[in-house]
A = this chain, B = another copy of it.
Amino acid sequence: MPDDFERMWGDLAPVGRSASSGGYFRQPFASAERELAQWFVEQCAARGLRVETDEIGNAVGWWDVGSGPAVLTGSHLDSVLDGGAYDGPLGVVSALAAIDLMRARGVVPTRPVGVSVFVEEEGSRFGLACLGSRLASGALSWEAARELRDRDGVALGDVVPGAASSLLSSVGTFVELHVEQGRDLVDRGAAIGVASEIWPHGRYRFDFAGAANHAGTTRMEDRQDPMLTYAMTALAANKQARLAGQRATFGRVAVTPNGTNAVPSAVTAWLDARCSTDAGLAELVDAIGRQGSERADRDGTSLTVTAESVSGAVTFDPALAAAVAADHEGGAWPIIPTQAGHDAGILSAAGIPTAMLFVRNPTGVSHSPAEHAEVADCLVGVSALADTLDRLTR
């Protein structure tokens, strides 16, 4: 019943959407994201899926069928600030639609199937990506997580009661369907791909400290302006990553006091860095920090670099990827790497055999209101996910 996909997609379209940019603001535990969570519960109920939640707010809708280790599939409903419609919701809606399709085809799995929604995958509120899956899988302790704070100073521990979770206790395999965030599938002329690996990546807080002063009366040579140190560091990060075929981005900045006529006392900026190897990532961040510190010496400022989260290389189960990708009508699905982190990477690192399906993205644009996938490709994705769940539950 492919119709169901489009109806569900239409349900979600207006929720948390900015009228000015057309982008989405679905930060965790805030109204838009909570509306989506409630929508998910209703969709599960409409399908007779038993909803199980944990303290942190992750949810699974269980199709209680068969026995043995369950196959879990799903994604997330939160977004980056001003994000696109597909990153996250496509995997949840496709999972529900895939169950509809399996049932329409008369498939009866021999194992339980679950549809999952993990909270705070983007880290847009508490700064740590894949927060829900890290806590549910035990990769992160509640003691470490409870003190994470959002931009208003609210602690995670003030928002949710704890992180107790048994959602993953019966899970034998995890499958996440996701819109592709690059153009590899376009280049290969394929609607569907399978993930081979996730590049190592991390978030690093760069604190530049200087001395506040009057922007008009302070001679240029008397200043200790951290904005200059930051500016040079941002350019250096770009150059380093370009030369090495890696990725480095300063997309978030906070200036103190942020007044037009004051030399700032401090600039804090966050580096997002990604490399094909763990060693390359460490070298990249070191090189950027070193160039920033050298400039700080010249500016009379200081730089402190703090790793807020670092995710090592994830190689998805190669036998599982090969089994998911092979022997399809029209040929095998391509197996490609990604530079983006996902809950699938956390669960894979926690020892759960995991696969990812990607749906073609015509422009490769993501984390943007312009993020897009064609409906026809999304419906191919639903069918591919149904096929995959069928294979894994025979």
Contacts and interface: CB of A to CB of B under 8 A. Distances in A.
Nearest to A181: B217
Interface in A337-370: 338-341, 364-370
Contacts of A218: 181-182, 247, 364-366
B82 A217 contact: no
B228 A251 contact: no
B216 A80 contact: no
A183 to B, nearest CB: 8
Contacts of A258: 81, 251-253
Contacts of A208: none
Number of copies of this protein chain within its complex = 2
A366 B214 contact: yes
- In this complex, the member of A182, A218, A274 whose beta carbon has the largest number of chain B beta carbons within 10 angstroms is A218
Size bin of chain A's contact surface = 35 or more
A259 to B, nearest CB: 4
13 contacts: A80-B259, A83-B257, A123-B260, A181-B216, A181-B217, A181-B218, A182-B214, A201-B216, A213-B368, A215-B249, A215-B272, A231-B232, A249-B262
Given A181-B217, A217-B247, A217-B364, 8 more contacts: A23-B212, A82-B259, A199-B216, A214-B340, A214-B366, A227-B250, A253-B258, A263-B367
A-B complex: 4 closest residue pairs judged by Cβ atoms: A212-B368, A82-B257, A181-B217, A81-B257
